[in-house]
């Protein structure tokens, strides 16, 4: 019985582990803010359920500039507190903000999306996760005028003087008193002329300093070895180029590090063509599509969004579409320079005859919206009982026959309905097609128990039923074994009296029968303490049994004699 209880307890624990959901599972979410170019961005990392500990790290800033991080009951990493790594604990609220990150958005000329990735680890009741926040940055409104690149091209001649340039007859200099440095090796001349090498009185190497006393018309007047000399202004700067190079070295190293960490994501997030539907439906992993346009379409209105804001998109072959087959390529170049090309095969049909002026389907909306120059449409239907559609097709032209083919006996899956518009005057036919996809509506996943998918729940219940059946079988087998064991014990007790029941009465005398009965009675009471009264009781019982046995024996002998006499003939 103890073994049966253990089996039942283990089975109950097993079912509990399978069926009871982890209702304490936490869920981490981030917001997706929208800001203007150059503004501050606040991204919050929130959990919908209470947790006791957590760690948040920034995996990818996505092109934003990290400023700071703050939060409730958090502790910044002691090693590098400006990386945005957060270690902390949450409160016992049902929903709490774990941390708030502040970034600075970059300057943009058009609306762009920047994706910031966070790693959330160390949570007690949730596996490690990666969360992303998409920040939309819009350009600021700027006043017109000026160079868009911020260059000031007014005044002065920035070109280097040529070897044939002559000194102006009367050159004027604006007075200066400043130290300047040679940006490269340059000749020092006694006059403002490059027509001859005779006026070269020396030279400056990169980083050499001199005192400039005047500037004008592309030349600088300097003091060189105690005399007045002249050097092309293009080779002088107020900053020492050697010091500038030293300052730029860390930046170059940082650029190299950034180059090593450049993204290789080169997929599109979306690809659409206005007024037309791609075949097949867009999928980031599918790189080839097709569509058909009319003769009046010169260019496709293509909309693209890159998966990685750092990648660039280029559209090739979309201008001046020709009659027949055309190929439009959408090239996506990742930050690391790798390229993926999405191809759109465009079939441009020649001028057709009459066209439809109206095309609609009762209770449904065509995709794209109807246009007489669009010849392919798509319609998705979830009602599987539909076998035909109420199509309204009209033409403003006279002497036109309109024939609808394929609208009968629509079936589950893809159906193509063709509308033929034929002009009786010139016998030209224009073809329109509607691709009808009839699909069953997927039932809503109404979970019977929160946190457990219904299919998993049914599986757990099935396992539980199987375990329960096995337990019932085990219990039945044990009960039967016990019953059989009890019957065997009863049978063994009856064997104690076997000498009286099975002994042949024909082969023993009455004295022997009395002796057997007496031995049986004495053996059954051999372990009992004998007293005088007990001996008397035993004697009385023995006599009663002897009387009963003698009576039974006499009856048996009489029956035996009777049986014997009946055999054979008697005289």
Q: Each residue of 478-524: pLDDT tens digit?
A: 999 988 887 776 655 555 544 444 444 445 555 555 555 555 555 55
Q: Which of 90-104, 350-364, 395-409, 549-563 has the lowest mean pLDDT?
A: 549-563
Domains annotated for the chain, with CATH where assigned, are: 28-138 (2.60.40.10), 160-261 (2.30.30.40), 268-342 (no CATH), 358-438 (2.60.40), 503-551 (no CATH)
Residue 98: the pLDDT is 78
Q: Which residue has the higher pLDDT, 276 or 565?
A: 276
Four-point Cα dihedral 519, 524, 530, 535, nearest 10: -60
Four-point Cα dihedral 38, 39, 45, 46, nearest 10: -150
Structure tokens that stand for 465 in this block: 């039923």
Q: How many CB atoms lie within 10 A of CB 149?
A: 5
pTM of this prediction exceeds 0.85: no
Report in angstroms the alpha-carbon separations of 444 from 96, 210, 405, 441, 447.
Answer: 30, 82, 35, 9, 9
Cα gap 117→129, rounded to integer Å: 11
Residue 50 has pLDDT above 80, yes or no: no
Cα gap 419→404, rounded to integer Å: 5
For residues 300 and 292, is the Cβ–Cβ distance under 8 A? Answer: no
Q: Which of 26-35, 263-272, 359-368 has the lowest mean pLDDT?
A: 26-35
Residue 198: the pLDDT is 80
For residues 99 and 69, is the Cβ–Cβ distance under 8 A? Answer: yes
Cα gap 199→216, rounded to integer Å: 19
What backbone torsions phi and psi does residue 503 show, to the nearest 5 degrees?
A: -70, 135
For residues 249 and 264, is the Cβ–Cβ distance under 8 A? Answer: no
pLDDT in tens, 95-141: 567 788 888 888 877 888 888 888 887 665 555 677 888 999 888 76
Q: Which residue has the higher pLDDT, 464 or 521?
A: 464
- Find the DSSP H helices in 495-531: 498-502, 510-524
Residue 230's DSSP bridge partners are 189, 221
Structure tokens that stand for 63 in this block: 């092109």
Question: Quick one: what percent of the chain has pLDDT higher than 70?
Answer: 66
Query: Please, how many CA atoms are within 13 Å of residue 119, restricted to the half-sphere of its CB?
Result: 9
Residue 106: the pLDDT is 84
Structure tokens that stand for 222 in this block: 């300097």
* Burial (Cβ within 10 Å: 0-12, 13-18, ≥19) of residue 457: middle
Question: Quick one: what percent of the chain has pLDDT higher than 90?
Answer: 24
Angle at 22 between CA 95 and CA 460, to 5 degrees: 150
Structure tokens that stand for 80 in this block: 């590098």
Residue 180: the pLDDT is 92
Residue 211 has pLDDT above 70, yes or no: yes
Mean pLDDT across the chain, nearest whole number? Answer: 75
Angle at 321 between CA 315 and CA 327, to 5 degrees: 55
pLDDT in tens, 229-275: 999 888 999 988 887 666 666 666 666 655 567 888 999 999 999 88
């Amino acid at each position: 019985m103890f073994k049966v209880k253990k089996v039942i307890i283990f089975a109950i624990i097993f079912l509990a582990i399978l069926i009871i959901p982890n209702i304490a599972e936490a869920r981490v979410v981030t917001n997706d803010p929208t800001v203007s170019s150059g503004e501050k961005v606040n991204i919050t990392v929130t959990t919908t359920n209470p947790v006791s500990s957590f760690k948040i790290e920034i995996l990818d800033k996505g092109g934003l500039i990290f400023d700071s991080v703050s939060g409730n009951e958090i502790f910044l990493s002691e090693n590098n507190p400006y990386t945005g790594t957060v270690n902390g604990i949450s409160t016992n609220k049902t929903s709490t903000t774990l941390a708030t990150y502040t970034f600075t958005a970059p300057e943009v000329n058009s609306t762009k999306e920047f994706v910031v990735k966070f790693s959330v680890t160390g949570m007690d009741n949730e596996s490690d996760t990666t969360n992303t926040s998409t920040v939309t940055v819009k350009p600021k409104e700027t006043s017109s005028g000026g160079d868009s690149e911020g260059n000031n091209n007014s005044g002065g001649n920035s070109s280097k003087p040529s070897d044939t340039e002559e000194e102006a007859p009367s050159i004027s200099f604006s007075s200066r008193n400043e130290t300047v440095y040679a940006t490269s090796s340059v000749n020092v001349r006694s006059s403002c002329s490059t027509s001859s090498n005779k006026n070269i009185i020396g030279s400056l190497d990169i980083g050499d300093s001199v005192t400039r006393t005047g500037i004008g018309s592309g030349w600088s007047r300097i003091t060189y070895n105690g005399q007045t000399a002249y050097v092309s202004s293009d080779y002088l700067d107020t900053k020492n180029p050697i010091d500038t190079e030293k300052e730029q070295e860390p930046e170059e190293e940082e650029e190299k590090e950034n180059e090593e960490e450049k993204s290789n994501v080169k997929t599109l997030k979306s690809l659409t063509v206005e007024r037309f539907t791609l075949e097949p439906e867009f999928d980031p992993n599918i790189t080839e599509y097709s569509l058909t346009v009319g003769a009046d379409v010169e260019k496709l209105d293509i909309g693209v969004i890159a998966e990685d804001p750092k990648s660039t998109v280029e559209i090739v072959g979309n201008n001046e579409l020709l009659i027949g087959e055309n190929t439009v390529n959408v090239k996506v170049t990742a930050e690391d320079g790798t390229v993926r090309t999405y191809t759109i095969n465009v079939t441009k049909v020649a001028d057709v005859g009459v066209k439809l002026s109206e095309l609609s389907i009762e209770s449904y909306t065509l995709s794209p919206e109807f246009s007489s120059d669009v010849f392919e449409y798509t319609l998705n239907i979830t009602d599987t009982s539909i076998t035909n559609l109420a199509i309204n097709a009209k033409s403003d032209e006279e002497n036109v026959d309109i024939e609808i083919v394929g609208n009968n006996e629509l079936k589950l899956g893809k159906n193509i309905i063709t509308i033929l518009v034929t002009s009786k005057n010139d016998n030209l036919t224009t073809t329109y097609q509607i691709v009808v996809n009839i699909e069953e509506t997927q039932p809503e996943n109404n979970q019977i128990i929160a946190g457990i998918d219904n299919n998993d729940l049914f599986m757990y219940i099935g396992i539980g039923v199987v375990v329960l059946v096995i337990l019932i079988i085990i219990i039945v087998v044990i009960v039967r074994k016990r019953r059989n064991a009890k019957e065997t014990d009863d049978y063994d007790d009856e064997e104690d009296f076997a000498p009286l029941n099975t002994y042949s009465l024909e082969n023993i005398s009455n004295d022997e029968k009395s002796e057997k009965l007496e031995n049986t009675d004495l053996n059954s009471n051999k372990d009992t303490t004998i007293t005088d009264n007990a001996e008397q009781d035993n004697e009385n019982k023995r006599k009663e049994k002897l009387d009963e046995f003698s009576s039974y024996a006499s009856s048996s002998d009489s029956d035996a004699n009777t049986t014997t006499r009946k055999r054979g003939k008697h005289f």
